[in-house]
Amino acid sequence: MLPKKTKYAIKALILLAREYKEQRPLKISKIAEAERIPRKFLEAIMVQLRNEGIVESKMGPTGGYTLLKHPEEVMLSTIIRSTGGPIALLPCVSLNFYERCDECVHEETCGLRDVVLEVREASIKILSKTSLADIIKRENKLIKKHNLQ
Amino acid sequence: MLPKKTKYAIKALILLAREYKEQRPLKISKIAEAERIPRKFLEAIMVQLRNEGIVESKMGPTGGYTLLKHPEEVMLSTIIRSTGGPIALLPCVSLNFYERCDECVHEETCGLRDVVLEVREASIKILSKTSLADIIKRENKLIKKHNLQ
DNA sequence: TTTGTATCCTACAAAATTAGTAGTATATTT
DNA sequence: AAATATACTACTAATTTTGTAGGATACAAA
């Protein structure tokens, strides 16, 4: 499962992506309120996203956060990794949180690892082709569909 | 990520599956030793697997655990669920650990949920078609491949 | 140049989850 | 009856997650 931290990060970035055309910084307090994220927690998350080069920050009044890249270029897989969310089901197939199974004698011949590797591949395939822009598109589509019924 | 509990369960069941033709109960101590799983911890896991109807236990000397179904019928997805391992990336798309996002206003129109739903589908597709027998087959194949090089 | 506002940074703390242990009861075979 | 294996109950320890508190720093506007 993804930690809340990762979910919050994605939610916040979706909001920034919606504001992207304006290119006006969004304040943490605004984001926290809109997405119902604990303010202080979001603060820490945003700093992390800045360190990862995903957003830009500006201090002082008129300050806040802006998306650094175009929403079509910010992939879900990138956000998940940047906030420490693991994608793989086991550490032995994780690219970013790799850890050898201490009980496995031969990692290369582990059948479970082989399957879990396949699952990771399938997941990453989806997550690395889905951008913030895609999520917004999906959202608009779902809203339309939902209103029709 | 899957908890160790789930990984240990799968490892233990693979061993039982390898022994399936014999239909002779395997003792916890043997399994724990072979797979390097803490003995007492494995004990608790095996009881859970028995309650879930995956294995059968027999007490006393000559006792131990036996697989209840044919290895081809025991699917990875079943083991994962039986031991409490979540497959989904978020609780709001989990079948067995469902939990509403408290910050989402409309679950049905959440774009992130929509993507994560797709990832879950892809993962389950693989995990629910892979049996213990399949894992053993993969293992044999990997060993052959590994020895040739 | 002061004041207000926003992010930045360090250091915690509470809560939840995971991983594992201890000890005893119960069943079964020899 | 003795030996051996699982079953059950009740903890404990460690780790991770999810936050919070409080002051430092940057910056714009009056």
Sole residue written with tokens 């979540």: B86
Q: What is the rounded average pLDDT of the residues B46-50?
A: 97
Distance B61 CA to C30 C1' (A): 9
CA dihedral B95, B98, B100, B104 (to 10 degrees): -50
Residue in B closest to A125 by C-alpha: B119
Among left, alpha and beta (phi > 0; psi -120 to 50; other), residue A84 is: left
* Distance from chain centroid for Cα B142: 20
pLDDT at B104: 81
pTM of the model: 0.94
Gap from A132 CA to D27 C1', in Å? 30
Q: Copy the structure tokens of residue B112.
A: 């992130």
Chain A residues in contact with B126 by the CB 8 A cut-off are 115, 118-119, 122
Q: In this complex, which residue's CA is closest to the C1' atom of nucleotide C10?
A: A44
Give the largest CA-CA distance in chain A.
58
pLDDT of B125 strictly over 90: yes
Residue A22 has phi, psi (to 5 degrees) of -65, -35
State yes or no: pLDDT of A149 exceeds 90. Answer: no
| Residue spans per domain, chain A | 1-74
Cβ–Cβ contact B22 with A under 8 A? no
Q: Candidates 3.40.190.10, 1.10.3720.10, 1.10.150.20, 1.10.10.10; correct CATH number of A1-74?
A: 1.10.10.10
Instruction: State the smallest CA–CA distance between residue A59 and chain B in angstroms.
Output: 27
Q: Helices in A19-131 by DSSP H: which ranges?
A: 28-35, 39-51, 76-82, 111-127
Looking at residue A148, its pLDDT comes to 80
Look at the alpha carbons of B55, B58, B59, B64 in this order and tell me if their dihedral is positive or negative.
negative
